[in-house]
Amino acid sequence: MSLTLITVIALTLGQAPAQAPLPTTPDGCVTTLRTYVMNAQRAAQPLTADVVRKIEADKLVMAKRCSAQFTVAGVAETDLPGLIALYGESGEPEKASAAITRALASKTMAAASRAQVLSQAVIAGLREPKSDARNQKLEQWVDALDALPGDHLDAQFTAHSHMNGYYRGDDIDDGIIKHSTWIINRAKSFTPAQRTAYGSPVISAYINMAEAVSGRGDNTRAQALLTEARSKWGDIRNANGMLDPVIARYALVGTVGAPISAPRWLNGPANTRLPMTGAVTLLEFTAHWCGPCKESYPGLKRLLAKFGPQGFRVVLSTELYGYFGSDRGLSAEDEIARDKDYFAHEGLAVPIAIEDQRKPPVRNADGTFTYFDNPNDKAYEVGGIPQIHLIDRQGRIRLIMVGYDDANEKGLAALIEKLLKEK
């Protein structure tokens, strides 16, 4: 019986998985930990947030037991990549850093092992607090990985994909473009087996790149990227499911935006149906729990202060979630009161549409799910927030930006100024 199966059975029987026998190598530990999480999540019915937290807590106990068997100085050089990964799983960043330092100082390590070390170092580094200095260090490691002699596709692809995912999550366009470009170019020479193995992340790179360039005002290039992704990667499993919503979103550029409707509004009357015509409008889809949304608010206020007197407005669209911060099970009235305080604290005295809370997904007889959309989100093909639309006086969508970083403010200001000058 495999160690993984023993662990899952122990969990099922209510025994502590931390008492299962331990693998004897760092790589073995990492494989077992990840397989445990995957199997435990599959076995959980239903998979609630509390269950996920319990599984992660059990995994952490197991990881610490596993890592306690090893020392940075005591393992062979070939075990250092696995040890770095294990220290990541066990939440021991100082030990991971020591293992990285030892590995990178080696004069005898083979290129294949060094590639794995650099790849794991990037993953470990992404767990450190965000900073420009941290990002610069990670980019240096990625560049060193790319410069190694020989073919190290798995290590390189892992590093570039993780960096791409971080930059997409933090809405840093330059990073998205750099790593998406590497992935797309490298994928041009893939074998059929590599296409199958890496196809979905390649499609994600196309999507990330399209979102970044569209947010900079180049919707033509964004659509070309998405068309290329469908043409060259449409055979990949779930390609249409990944691409169709994004293609539909950017097809909205140049069309007239739908009015924003909601039963509740902040800074406006209930049941308002607000047309997108008559003013240059920045429409942002947002939420009280969204960190990048919050980062956009100072820029929105500066834009409003500069251009508001000339006929520019900001409109926000959100919905009820049933919670606020750590408070769960809130009534609609209580959450709206919290929203009111939240947006007032952010200094946003703008119209804010609050849609009803969505119904939970319904499982169909064939195992698929029926999902219920927020009507405003559906009308604008919202795929992630903040999602920003710049709309001209005629109501035509002129720009779609998914995500936000401070570098976007200059581009938004230039387009707003242009739209205000149009008749």
In a domain, 178, yes or no: no
Tokens of 421: 């000058």
Q: What is the pLDDT of residues 104-154, one digit of tens each?
A: 999 999 999 999 999 999 999 999 999 999 999 999 999 999 999 999 999
Q: Strand 352-355 and strand 264-266: pairing?
A: antiparallel
Which residue range(s) make up the domain with 301? 260-421
Q: What is the C-alpha to C-alpha distance for residues 286 and 386, in angstroms, rounded to an integer?
A: 5
Q: What is the DSSP letter of 72?
A: T
The DSSP-derived string for 339-370 is HHHHHHHTT--S-EEEEPPPPPPEE-TTS-EE
In a domain, 115, yes or no: no
pLDDT category, 405, cuts 50, 70, 90?
Answer: confident
In a domain, 383, yes or no: yes
Alpha-helical runs (H) found in 251-345: 291-307, 332-345
In a domain, 69, yes or no: no
Closest by CA position to 66, among listed 82, 52, 77, 81: 82
In a domain, 164, yes or no: no
**What's the pLDDT at 19?**
61
The average confidence (pLDDT) of the chain is 92
**What's the pLDDT at 195?**
95
The CATH number assigned to the domain holding 336 equals: 3.40.30.10
Residue count of the chain: 423
Which secondary structure element, helix H or strand E, spans residue 165, and what is its range? helix 153-170
Distance set, CA 186 to CA 114, 178, 179, 202, 398 (Å): 20, 12, 11, 9, 32
**What's the pLDDT at 352?**
98
In a domain, 80, yes or no: no
Q: What is the C-alpha to C-alpha distance for residues 128 and 130, in angstroms, rounded to an integer?
A: 6
Under 8 Å between Cβ of 101 and 141? no
In a domain, 316, yes or no: yes
Task: Write the CB contacts of 38 (distance below 8 Å, at least 6 apart in sequence).
Answer: none
In a domain, 390, yes or no: yes
Residue with the two structure tokens 């909601």: 262
- For 199, other C-beta atoms within 10 Å of its C-beta total 19
Report how many domains make up the chain. 1
**What's the pLDDT at 279?**
97
| Its pTM surpasses 0.75 | yes
pLDDT category, 415, cuts 50, 70, 90?
Answer: very high
Distance set, CA 63 to CA 4, 90, 250 (Å): 14, 5, 44
Tokens of 146: 């790319």
